Structure 1
Amino acid sequence: MNSCLIDKFPVELIHNLFDYFLALEILLIFSNVSQYLDSVLLNYSSYWINFKSIRRAHFDLVCQRILPNQVISLTISDDYDTPGQIELFVSHFRLEQFARLRSFKLIDVEPYWWERIFSNLTQLTNLHSSFYDTPEITEQWFSDLLSHDEQIVLDTHLIKTHASILPQLTRIRLPHGDYLKSTTLPRLRQLILDQCSPETLKYICSAAPQLKVLDVYLHCDSTETKFLFPFHSLKRLVLRIRGQC
């Protein structure tokens, strides 16, 4: 490999440049340009990995070239573009290896994996954001495979799994608010729920005193439902209502 003009730049400046790119972009642009840049890549420890809609060859490249302790943000997707990605990911890594991880996002990962994933998050002391997004496949999984009673049993088990990690998070997105019951949320600043009952919303009001952004789908079954509660720190509210309120 030849040297290039960027080899004259200090490591700190190049690392600052990397902060504007996703991990795959960094590898595709800067790998194998020069020995100096390759050494800079090895010492960079703030990679943002987004596996959504990624090609298999690019997935393998990221897994081969980046160590878990170099990653601060991770997105894993099991949607229609990349089915089976979560199983492939856990064949490469254990989640507790990502010691510097700050943000973690799952997209359409089936509940089968949730306990295994969230039980390991408790070891990630730097984690402050956890998102579960676009549950299209998951909703179909629930309706096709589980009865109502089985869903309740699964939810109860998953609530216990989530409980230990929730108090350290500042940003959360979950399929529904039942996961937040019986736990305090002292650091929570942003909350997105795809489903929430008035009773859960009332609980969140007292459990999350620092909440500033709230985005919920509220499910009501009575025109007598009261759902206006005193969120003293709230700055932004997005409220969508289903049913009768």
Structure 2
Amino acid sequence: MIPSLGKQPIFILDSLPKEIIYTIFDYLWAHDILYSFLDSSAIINSIILTYHNYHVNFKSILKCLFDLVCCSIRSNQITSLILSDDNETPCQSKVYLSLFPIEEFINLRAITLSDIENDNRTSFTNIHQLKYLNYFETDTLSHLWMIETIPKLKRLIVNKISDHDYNHENLLCAISFFYLRNLTLPYCSYNNLRQILRSAPKLTSLNISLIISDCTGIDYFAEQHQEAPLIINNLTISIDIISYIPCGISIEPK
């Protein structure tokens, strides 16, 4: 606050153009904005109400801050969303999406799912309706069904791998990679990698763990040539040789 000639002190941020306040908000999580600025002044409240670039992070969030976000921010004001059902915030995604169905996030561009159980599948059924969604991050391949019909996906990150993920690798074949620029996968067979490289002409960053069954697979992989050259600025490939291949999974090059 700064003193004024009148009876009421002036909140210093009230004197700034709202565009500057918007820029400040761009670097803050939604709950930090609300906790720090809500009800500080009528002008700031008005800016909070009209701001449409909220980054919502519910990972390890306190219940009081979760409730504050739910009460203060509409779904169409959110452009990035992190949902987590870990031990600190169990069933959070189901609760939040029961209040705000996924199809209402019409301006959402990025979503991150952490420890989301597959029994919550119905909450994400209409995620394909989000026409601006281009960033998808998760911790299991089993969630990739959600983005099968997302046409302009630019970044895909799968952070972890579990035993049942070997049964979901085929979901990679259904994704459109044409606009993809960044890809991180904890597991990928040779055949799927070849398919991805063929269908991702705009790929510039690749972080992947390639799984093959023996050393002859490495030789075969090294001898292959990409039909259309890619300009990849950031490349990390690890090659794991495994002697056990889960039933039904083919990872040998054809």
Q: Structure 1-normalised TM-score?
A: 0.83
Residues 189 and 101 (structure 1), Cα distance of their counterparts in 2 relative to 1, 3 Å cut: same
**1:14 is the counterpart of 2:21:** yes
Cα gap change, 1:20 to 1:110, in 2 (>3 Å): same
2:196 partner SS: helix
Does 2:69 match 1:62?
A: yes
Identity across matched positions, percent: 32
Structure 2 runs not aligned, ≥5 long: 1-7, 244-254
2:202 pairs, out of 210, 214, 228, with: 210
Question: Is residue 116 of structure 2 the alignment partner of residue 120 of structure 1?
Answer: no
Going from structure 1 to structure 2, the CA distance change for 1:22 and 1:160 (only over 3 Å counts) comes to closer
- Counterpart of 1:162? 147
Using the TM superposition, give the Cα deviation of residue 185 of structure 1 relative to its aligned residue in structure 2, in angstroms.
1.3
Aligned CA distance change for structure 1 residues 161 and 30 (closer, same or farther; 3 Å): closer
Instruction: Please identify which structure carries the higher helix content.
Output: 1
- Which residue of structure 1 lines up, in the alignment, with residue 231 of structure 2? 233
1:195 to 187, 193, 202: 187
Superposed, 1:97-116 pairs within 5 Å as: 97-114=104-121, 116=123
| Partner SS, residue 206 of structure 2 | strand
Contact 2:128 2:146 survives alignment (8 Å): no
What is aligned with 1:86? Answer: 93
Q: What CA RMSD, in Å, does the superposition of the two structures yield over aligned residues?
A: 2.2
Please give the residue correspondences for 1:17-36 in structure 2 after superposition, counting only pairs within 5 Å: 17-36=24-43
- Deviation, 1:111, is 1.9
Q: Output the CA distance in 2 between the equivalents of 1:102 and 1:159.
A: 16
Q: Within 2, Cα distance between the matches of 1:159 and 1:41?
A: 34
- Between the two proteins, the alignment pairs up a number of residues equal to 222
**Greater Rg by CA:** 2
176-185 or 4-13: bigger deviation: 176-185
What is the alpha-carbon distance in structure 1 between the residues aligned to residue 83 and residue 215 of structure 2?
40
Paired position in structure 2 for 1:145? none
SS at match of 1:227: helix
| Structure 2 counterparts to residues 36-47 of structure 1, below 5 A | 36-47=43-54
Classify 1:93/1:209 alpha carbon distance in 2 versus 1 (closer, same or farther; 3 Å): same
In the TM superposition, what whole-angstrom CA distance separates every residue of 1:179-202 from its partner, at most 9, and x where no partner exists?
Answer: 221443110000111211111001
Distance 2:212 2:171 in 1: 18
* Pairwise CA distance, 1:241: 2.4
